[in-house]
C-alpha cells in the first residue's frame, strides 16, 4: 500500500502556550511537550516543511499583566514575547531529543539563545528539512502571536496555517460552556470578522484574507490530528477562500 502524502508542502503550526501546560494549568508539562514534539516529528517525516509559532500564555500573558498587575501595555507585551522564547527553546529541546533537526528564530535578538529572524535563512532551513520555530512574536508590542503566525506564513510562502486548539473546530459560542453551540465546518474570513468568532485576532484574519491564506482550526488534544490535517482529512473548521480544500 503506497505511503500517504501530505496535501501541503509548507505549513505554519500555531500553538498556544496553553498547549504546553497539559493539565497543570501553568508552565510546561513534560508529557504535553513530548506529545507535541512526537506529532511534529511524525509530520516532518512525511517530507513536509514545518514551521511553528508558539504563544506564551502558560508563562505570562500580556493582557493579564495589564489587568492584574497594572503593567504598562508595551512592557507587558515584551514580557509575553520573552515567554514565547522559553516555550520555543523547550520545544526545540524536545524535538532534538526525538532526532528532529530544529532551529529557533526570534524577532527579538538574543544571539546566545537563538538565531535572529531572517526570512531567507528560515526558508533555507526548511529546504534542508529542519523544523523552524518562530518566537518573540513580531518583535513589537500590540501584536499577538496569531498575527505573528499570519505574517510569517505569508513571508515564507506557507500553504496553510494550522491552528491547534482545545476544541475540534470553530463554534458559534464556547462549546465547553454552551451545550447548544453550533460547529462550523467551513467559514469565510469575513464571516469570522462579522460574527466576532474566536479563531484568530482581526489583524491576523485580515492578513490571511488579503493573501488568500487558509486557516484550519482543529483539536490538538486528540493525538494524531496534526497528521490527519496535513494528509487532507476533513477535520476541524476551514477558514479561507472558496478554492481552499
For residue 116, the model assigns a pLDDT of 97
Q: Structural domains in the chain?
A: 10-239 (3.40.1160.10)
**DSSP β-bridge partners for residue 52:** 13, 133
* Burial annotation 158-171 (CB, 10 A radius, 16+ → b, else e): bbbbbbbbebbbbb
Query: Rounded distance, CA 173 to CA 145, Å?
Result: 22
Mind giving me the DSSP string for 206-217?
Answer: HHHHHTT--EEE
Query: Rounded distance, CA 212 to CA 24, Å?
Result: 37
Note the pLDDT tens digit of each residue in 122-142: 999 999 999 999 999 999 999
Confidence band for 65, pLDDT divided at 50, 70 and 90: low
Note the pLDDT tens digit of each residue in 11-63: 999 999 999 998 888 899 999 999 999 999 999 999 999 999 999 999 987 66
Amino acid at each position: 500500500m503506497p505511503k500517504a502524502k501530505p496535501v501541503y508542502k509548507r505549513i505554519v503550526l500555531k500553538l498556544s502556550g496553553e498547549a504546553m501546560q497539559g493539565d497543570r494549568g501553568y508552565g510546561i508539562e513534560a508529557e504535553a511537550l513530548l506529545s507535541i514534539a512526537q506529532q511534529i516529528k511524525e509530520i516532518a517525516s512525511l517530507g513536509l516543511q514545518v514551521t511553528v509559532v508558539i504563544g506564551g500564555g502558560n508563562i505570562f500573558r500580556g493582557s493579564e499583566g495589564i489587568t492584574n498587575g497594572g503593567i504598562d501595555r508595551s512592557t507587558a507585551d515584551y514580557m509575553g514575547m520573552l515567554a514565547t522564547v522559553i516555550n520555543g527553546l523547550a520545544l526545540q529541546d524536545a524535538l532534538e531529543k526525538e532526532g528532529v533537526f530544529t532551529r529557533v528564530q526570534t524577532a527579538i535578538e538574543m544571539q546566545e539563545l537563538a538565531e535572529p529572524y531572517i526570512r531567507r535563512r528560515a526558508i533555507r532551513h526548511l529546504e534542508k528539512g529542519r523544523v523552524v520555530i518562530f518566537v518573540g512574536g513580531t518583535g513589537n508590542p500590540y501584536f499577538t502571536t496569531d498575527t505573528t503566525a499570519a505574517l510569517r506564513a505569508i513571508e515564507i510562502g506557507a500553504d496553510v496555517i494550522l491552528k491547534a486548539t482545545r476544541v475540534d473546530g470553530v463554534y458559534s459560542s464556547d462549546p465547553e460552556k454552551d451545550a447548544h453551540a453550533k460547529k462550523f465546518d467551513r467559514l469565510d474570513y469575513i464571516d469570522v470578522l462579522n460574527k466576532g468568532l474566536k479563531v484568530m485576532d482581526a489583524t491576523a484574519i485580515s492578513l490571511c484574507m488579503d493573501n488568500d491564506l487558509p486557516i484550519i482550526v482543529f483539536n490538538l488534544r486528540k493525538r494524531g490530528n496534526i497528521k490527519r490535517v496535513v494528509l487532507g482529512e476533513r477535520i476541524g473548521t476551514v477558514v479561507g477562500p472558496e478554492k481552499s480544500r
